[in-house]
Amino acid sequence: AGIKVEEEIIRDLERLDIELYVKIEHQRASGLLQPLDIPVWKWDEISMDFVTGLPRTQRRHDAIWVVGDRLTKSAHFLPIQKDYSISKLAKTFQQEII
């Protein structure tokens, strides 16, 4: 049984290697990298990310919405539910950030 598992692993790795090679082959060269402009005002340019897969809190939050300011490098960590609608996220943004 151990040999059969090893053969399956080797076959999967060979297939993965081929898939990665094909993907790389079809990608265009990106050219020279350009630095991002420095923002002029605080909270003029932001970044957002979601941390999901967290245990549910007493208030039923199971995710964290991270909103960061590029200029000051400060961030807000907002507890949310991962199934919040866009309108609920917008309302949360207005209440907590603006």
Domain spans of the chain? 46-96
* pLDDT, tens digit (0-9, with 9 covering 90-100), for 45-88: 999 999 999 999 999 999 999 999 999 999 999 999 999 988 88
Does this model's pTM top 0.75? no
Give CA–CA dist 43/4, Å, rounded: 57
Q: Which pLDDT score is estimated for 73?
A: 94
Closest CA to 62 of 85, 76, 83, 93: 83
Which stretch of DSSP H or E encloses residue 49? Answer: strand 46-51
Closest CA to 68 of 39, 50, 86, 48: 48
How far lies 32's CA from each of 19, 25, 29, 66, in Å? 26, 19, 9, 30
Q: Which pLDDT score is estimated for 36?
A: 85
DSSP designation for 76: E
